[in-house]
Structure formats: structure tokens, C-alpha cells
Structure 1
Amino acid sequence: MTTPVTVRSSNGAGFPGFGDHAPLELTTAPGDASILSRLLDGTHERFADALSSAGNCVRPIQLTGSSTTVDAGTGEVVSSFSSAQAPLGTLFTRCGNRRENKCAPCSRVYARDTFEMIRAGAVGGKTVPETVAANRLLFVTLTAPSFGFVHGVRADGGRCRPRSSDRVETCAHGVRLSCGARHAKEDEVTGSPLCWDCYDWTGAVVWQFHAPELWRRTTIALRRALAAALGVKPTKLGEVASIQYAKVAEYQARGLVHFHGLIRLDGADGPGSSAPVDAGVLGQVVSAAVASVVVEAPPGVGDR
């Protein structure tokens, strides 16, 4: 795992689709025929109400049944509900899927909630004091190692893997390990190996499986490294500092997961209290901690 560490300040900007007036995709039952049939049989208003109550979810969960709330002391029925009272006689609730290709409306809600949570941790709000904005905050990227040469998009719009004729390597399978094309993100070849036989597919799968454990051990190592830098035992770290994380896993074009993380350091009194070290020291601690983390994978099928 490598650790390019940079410090960025938040300008409060959102992302496309963020904001009170951002449009939500209105998703209905599959096919125009379903809509037409509801217009003809008079159930379109009830269908619209059910759809609205489920937040326009593409695949809402359908529940049937009833519930009754009774005061345990008096035996009085406080409230009752039956799915028969709901529009269409069924209670619809969101599927809650985070993937946009599965349910765009639910993924949008999740994205907005996540944005608000991370923004509050960076600049305050939502019960978090605004003084956190003055504390040390690192944006850390933890990337997967290389498992072989792949086609990629260059930031400067340059060629994929240009080589002069006297520098072109050829692998054991006779494939030239060079590419003079300028790939776009949408190109099918982007992220794919230059030589499919040379690529370490087993290593890539092992990395993918153990990536969550690597992150878990990284957070443990970071706390220990920070305690050592502050001259206290790890069990006493809470007496001098508080460290918070926000992590997002993202797939690269080559199909491997990597992590983007925000790491904020506060004082012993929690969010907003003065941090005991500056961002430079925190960056050094993070880099050293990540470099020390190792997960030993058990032998796989075919390994000796």
C-alpha cells in the first residue's frame, strides 16, 4: 500500500446532484404499459402516493401485515397500523441500495447523507463544532500495488505506455509491453493488462479480499504510531488526543479497490479541541504507520 499524503481545505462545494433543489430521478414501474394500465384502472394516484412514500425507489420492499402498540401498564391500545391502510394495500419501503446502477434514488440519498456527514467532520455542523475547521485534516489515498502493466489514462492526455523502438520490452509470451494510444476513461481497453497471461490475477484477487483487513490494521497502527510520537502508551492516547476517520472505497479502472480517507486530529476534549501536533507531524505518523502494516495471506489454490 502506498500513501501519497496531501492536506486539502474544504471550500464547502458540493457535488453534482447535491443541494435542496437537486432533481431526483422519478422511477416508475417497469414499462409504459404498467403506467397506462394504472391510468385506465384508476389506481395511478394510489400508485404515485406509494411511490412517493418509498422515495421513488426502483425496487421497493413490499411489506404486508399489522402492528399494535399497547401500554404495558394499562393495557390500552395506543396505536395500530395495518398495511391494508397503505396505498395499494401494501407498505412500500426503500431498498436502501447504495449502488447507482441498482437504484439511483436510494444511492442519491446515501450520497447526500454521506456528503453531509463528511462535510460536518471537516468544517462543522450537525452538532459538530465549527472549530474543527482549524484542526489538522489529511486527505490520504491508499492504493493497491502493481500486478502487471495495464492500459491507462494519462493525466496530461499523453500516450498510454510509449516506448522507443530500442526500449520496447517483449514478455515471455511474445507481447510487446508498450502502447502508443491515448485512452479515454470510457475505452474498453482501459485498465486491462497489456499481457493477460503475465498479469498476476491471483495476487490481485488476494489483495482485493484482504484490503478491508489492511485498512483495519492501518487504523490500529496509526493509533499506536501517534501514541509513540506523543510519548504516551496507546491505552493513554485518549488523554492527549482524539483521532477520527472517514473512509471511502473506490474501484480503479483496473478493477482493484483503493481507499480515500480523511483523517482528523483533535485534542483530548474531542472534536474542535486543539490538536497536540501539526499537520506535518501527523502526515509523517500516517506514512510510517501505513508502511508498517502487513497482512500475510494463507496459501491459495495451486500455491506451494
Structure 2
Amino acid sequence: MVLRLPSLPSRKERVLSIALDLSRPGLAAGRNAHVLHRAAAPEFSGWLEHTRPAGGCARPIRLTGTLAAVDPGTGRIVSEQHTDELPDRTLYKACGNRRESHCPDCAWVYAGDAYQVVHCGLTGGKGVPASVGRHPVVFATFTAPSFGAVHHRNVRRHTCSSRQRCDCRPDPCHGRRIAGTCQHGEPAVCFARHDADDPQLGQPLCLGCYDHGHQVVWNYLSGELWRRTKQAIERHLAALCRRRGIPFVRLVTATGKIRWVPPVRVSHGKVAEMQRRAAVHFHVLLRLDGVDPDDPDAIVPPPAGITIDDLEPAVHTAARQITVTTPRHPDRLEGWVIAWGEQVDVRRINTADGELTDDRVAAYLAKYATKSTEVTGHCSTRLTAATIGDYADPEGDHLARLIDACWRLGRPTHNATASGAATTGGRQGHLDAEPNPYAGLRRWAHMLGFGGHFLTKARRYSVTFGLLRDTRATYRRTEDDDTTDTVTVAILTYIGAGWLNDGDALLANTAARQRRESRRIGREELAHEAWLIGAAA
């Protein structure tokens, strides 16, 4: 079967096309000159091929140094080249930023990897056994508690076909509350029926009544809350195994010691999503696995006595019971209580209604893996003492008060207990040994207190990002020549970030979009031809 992919236009056609596009009013004259000068140069095709690894990147990394081809058998240098001999006398590398707001192209690649990581944990593939598709799995959503009344959009009964394009009529925002004003004189009710894009959504009804300090501390320690919640889920399932007479598994450690472990473990894939009120909540895939006594790292089905009907109540029980009492702080000597909100949703996937499937869940988590704080309206780099004044204000809006709370609670202090204890269910453990256990809030003030990864997984859940990147790099090295028997050793130094000018950025990004479009059309043609063959059979 031969597939004819759409070919890229010739250099002359690209120059003419770009020249026509740049003739439109409103574009900078300097960019026009750079584009026409670069595209008309004889070495333009070589420059496009040279920038291909970073094509589409918003701020590529520029490197200088030496590239040497080494024979892996003898260690002899076969050839050597300095970046001064390359176009622009530099080597371009994509920045690899996962945030869509910073670099859409690199975030697109990251989202594709995230999809594979999540999807392989549900269906198998890329080294994960296909038997995981028969393991019990639930999709759980853990939300933050209320820190004060905020404007929200509540639709009690959806009649729309897609929640992404929901046009259902919402209920009044806070119409059922007792009419009147709060202690700060602000209205305690809101009868508005907010649209989905209403900027008031997520904003407190009263900034003075809202507990901004508690929210940033919750964001800061939400990862610890999740860790203990997962431990509680596994303890609940282990207790079920004891009651039902399911024997524990005998394992021999590397040091020769014998351990008896529960016959079931929980593997998870988790993504954090920032809500409009600037509190994170977690979407988690929880998969039941068994334990192989001969190979503890193997992914095997759970014992027959533990099913998905046991996993769902275990998640709800752990979410209700687990709390974390934080260490003392001069602003709050009793600490804060960190717990999940009342809205804990646990749903099964691949059910008869087809609303939650493997593909949809994987795509959903991959999408939010590229997000950050953009939905709140705040997006900045790490804040310092020189820049905090531009964002923090104790009398400002919602976001300004949250950032101020991070900076205020994370200030140096020696009044807090050095070994502040966190209690959970009567057990004690140390959260931090610093004089101020909340010092990290200053480091993550630009993230409104949340310092965790936006996508995490259990070690045995699926493949890793590193494996996917290594596979892609190996494919690219052998794509043009599969007989390569040398290894490239590079000694490179960072010299800057970003394209040399706007014209180069436009040319490289346009070529990258054309290549992506060509691959997309090719995949669609292959899928269509496979469908035709299947229909004919």
C-alpha cells in the first residue's frame, strides 16, 4: 500500500506565499525584511532542516560547542564538527516547556506523551501488559473544601449533548442563602445566572470573609493529603483481604529478609487542575493490581476476592477520614486542618453509557497536564523580593491576596515549632524540619501555593516520559539512515534562548505547522484506507 502524502511547497513557492502573507497591513516592516532576506538566501533549505528539531518552539534553546561522532566499538572519533560551521553558528533545541500558555508546540508534544502514559496504564502497550485492560479501574475526582462563598455556575440537570459546549440554563448563583449582608457589608446573596465565561466565576462574594491563608496552605499540602489518602485506600483493601481470608504474599527482599505484604496494590495516574477560585483539585485513575511473589515489579491482576465494588467504597472512606493537621505558625498557633471537600466523585470507566472511556479519560488528563494557573487569570514566573510587590496586595483582589498570603506565611520566623508534627488518625509524623515549615510558600507564590507536579503516576502504573523521549530520539536518529553505527557525543554550552529575530521565528514555525499538517493528513488517509479494507472484507 502506497500513501501519497502532501509534499511541502518548493522554496520559491514558500517565499512567494510568505511574501504575500506579509504584505498584509499591521505586520512589522522589520519582520518582513528578515523573512524575505532569509527565505531568498540559497542556504534557506539547509537552514530549515537545521532548525527542524526546534521548529514551532516559542523560545528554543541556543547551544554552542562541539559534536563528535564516536565509534562505540573502539572509542575512536570518526568525525568532529563545531557549531560555528552550522547555520547561525548555533544549535537549536526545543525548550520542552509543558505549559501551553508558554510554548504551544512543546506543550503539544508533552500532551501526546501524557496521553500515552495514561492510556498505556489502561489498555497496555509499550511494555505494559495488555492484561491491565481487565483490571478494575475507577476515575476519582478529589476537590478542595470551601474557604468562603464564591460565585459559581450550577446546572442541576444537563440537557446539552456536550459539557464542553454546555448552554443549559444555570441556577441562581447563591439565591437560596439568607438575604442580608456579611460583617464587612457585602451582599450575602447573588441571584445572577452566570455564563460559562463570566469573569465573576470563582471570585469571593466577600474578600474580607474569605480565608486566603487557609487556601494557600491547602494548596501547599494537598500532595501530602493525597499521599496519605492513597495509603488509607490500600490499608482499607488490606483489611478486606484479612477479613475474607485472602492470604498475604511472601516476598524476599534484596537483603534476604522475608516480608508478608497485602496481595493487592493500587496504582494511580493523577493530574492536578487549578479551579477558577485558585484551589487545586485532583483527577485520579486508580487501578487494582496484584502482587507476584516471584517478581514484585510485575503487573498482574488482583486476587479474585477483591473487585471494583470494593475499590469504590475504599476511596470514599479514605476521603472522609483522612485529614492533616499542619504545624504551628505565629499567625495561627493551632495550625490548619487540611481535608478534602464534600464533592468526591468516583466513577467507573468503560460502562454501557460510554461517557467515560479509556480514550476520553486519557485525553482529558493529557489536556490538563499542560495547564497551570491560567484559568485564574494569573500567569507569572517565580516571584522574588524585587517582583512580589507587583502581584501581592493584602487589600487587593482575590489573586493579589492569595499571593500576599503565600509571601506572608512563608516569611522567616523562629516562633514555629522546628519539628512541627502532623497528625493523621492518631499517628504523628514530621512534615518539615525547617524553623518555618511553610517557608516553601514563598517559592511557590507564583503557583498560588501549589508546588507539586501537575501529572504524576505510581511507579508501576505505566511507562515513563523518559522512555517515550528516548524512543522518539532513537527513531529520529535512525529515520534517515538505519545503518548508523556511531554515537554522537556533544560538548555544548548554553548561549541564549529564543530565535534570533521575529522573521526566523515565523519561518521556522510555519514550516513546523506544515509538517504537522502533512503528518495529520497522512494518518487520516491511512485510517480511512484501513477502514475501507475492513469494510470490504
User: For the structure 1 residues 271 and 33, does the alpha-carbon distance in structure 2 shift closer, same or farther, using more than 3 Å as the test?
Assistant: farther
Q: CA deviation at 1:155?
A: 2.6
Q: Which moved more, 1:142-151 or 1:281-290?
A: 281-290
CA distance in 1, matches of 2:82, 2:172: 63
Aligned with residue 266 of structure 1, among 270, 286, 289: 289
CA distance in 2, matches of 1:300, 1:47: 58
Counterparts of residues 77-226 of structure 1 (less than 5 Å): 77-78=77-78, 80-156=80-156, 157-163=170-176, 167-226=178-237
Q: Percent identity?
A: 38
User: For the structure 1 residues 55 and 281, does the alpha-carbon distance in structure 2 shift closer, same or farther, using more than 3 Å as the test?
Assistant: farther
Once the two structures are superposed, residues 104-158 of structure 1 have per-residue CA deviations (whole angstroms, 9 ceiling, x without a partner) of 0111111111112211111222222332222100101111010000001113422
Q: 2:264 — aligned with what? A: 241
Give the counterpart letter for 2:194 in structure 1: H
Gaps of 5+ in 2: 1-26, 157-169, 243-247, 251-258, 293-297, 334-537
Once the two structures are superposed, residues 185-238 of structure 1 have per-residue CA deviations (whole angstroms, 9 ceiling, x without a partner) of 322111000011000011111101111222222233333332222225996336
CA distance in 1, matches of 2:73, 2:135: 51
The aligned length equals 272
CA distance in 2, matches of 1:73, 1:163: 77
Aligned with residue 288 of structure 1, among 307, 317, 340: 317
User: For the structure 1 residues 287 and 65, does the alpha-carbon distance in structure 2 shift closer, same or farther, using more than 3 Å as the test?
Assistant: same
Once the two structures are superposed, residues 89-116 of structure 1 have per-residue CA deviations (whole angstroms, 9 ceiling, x without a partner) of 2111111111111000111111111112
User: SS of the counterpart of 1:122?
Assistant: helix
Kept in 1, the 8 Å contact 2:288–2:301? The answer is no
Is 1:278 the counterpart of 2:292? The answer is: no
Q: Which moved more, 1:77-86 or 1:143-152?
A: 77-86
User: Larger helix proportion, structure 1 or 2?
Assistant: 2
User: For the structure 1 residues 37 and 83, does the alpha-carbon distance in structure 2 shift closer, same or farther, using more than 3 Å as the test?
Assistant: same
Give the counterpart letter for 2:179 in structure 1: V
Q: 1:37 — aligned with what? A: 34
CA distance in 2, matches of 1:58, 1:294: 42
Kept in 2, the 8 Å contact 1:38–1:44? The answer is no
CA distance in 1, matches of 2:32, 2:144: 47
Once the two structures are superposed, residues 33-52 of structure 1 have per-residue CA deviations (whole angstroms, 9 ceiling, x without a partner) of 33631421426545533442
CA distance in 2, matches of 1:32, 1:131: 59
User: For the structure 1 residues 48 and 72, does the alpha-carbon distance in structure 2 shift closer, same or farther, using more than 3 Å as the test?
Assistant: closer
User: SS of the counterpart of 2:228?
Assistant: helix
User: For the structure 1 residues 184 and 79, does the alpha-carbon distance in structure 2 shift closer, same or farther, using more than 3 Å as the test?
Assistant: farther
Q: 1:76 — aligned with what? A: 76
Kept in 2, the 8 Å contact 1:217–1:293? The answer is yes
Give the counterpart letter for 1:217 in structure 2: R
TM-score, normalised on structure 1?
0.79
User: SS of the counterpart of 2:223?
Assistant: helix
Give the counterpart letter for 1:160 in structure 2: C
CA distance in 2, matches of 1:303, 1:274: 45
Q: Which moved more, 1:35-44 or 1:195-204?
A: 35-44
Kept in 1, the 8 Å contact 2:291–2:300? The answer is no
Aligned with residue 299 of structure 1, among 328, 333, 338: 328
Q: Which moved more, 1:288-297 or 1:149-158?
A: 288-297
CA distance in 2, matches of 1:249, 1:115: 15
Give the counterpart letter for 1:279 in structure 2: I
TM-score, normalised on structure 2?
0.47
Kept in 2, the 8 Å contact 1:265–1:275? The answer is no
Once the two structures are superposed, residues 2-47 of structure 1 have per-residue CA deviations (whole angstroms, 9 ceiling, x without a partner) of xxxxxxxxxxxxxxxxxxxxxxxxxxxx967336314214265455
Kept in 2, the 8 Å contact 1:162–1:179? The answer is yes
In terms of Rg, which structure is larger?
Answer: 2
User: SS of the counterpart of 1:286?
Assistant: helix
User: For the structure 1 residues 49 and 70, does the alpha-carbon distance in structure 2 shift closer, same or farther, using more than 3 Å as the test?
Assistant: closer
User: For the structure 1 residues 253 and 32, does the alpha-carbon distance in structure 2 shift closer, same or farther, using more than 3 Å as the test?
Assistant: farther
Gaps of 5+ in 1: 1-29
User: For the structure 1 residues 39 and 272, does the alpha-carbon distance in structure 2 shift closer, same or farther, using more than 3 Å as the test?
Assistant: farther
CA distance in 1, matches of 2:134, 2:276: 35
Q: Runs in 1 of length 4+ with deviation above 4 angstroms?
A: 69-75, 232-235
User: SS of the counterpart of 2:273?
Assistant: strand
User: For the structure 1 residues 241 and 78, does the alpha-carbon distance in structure 2 shift closer, same or farther, using more than 3 Å as the test?
Assistant: farther
Q: CA deviation at 1:253?
A: 1.2
CA distance in 1, matches of 2:32, 2:51: 12
Kept in 2, the 8 Å contact 1:46–1:88? The answer is no
Report the aligned-residue RMSD: 2.8
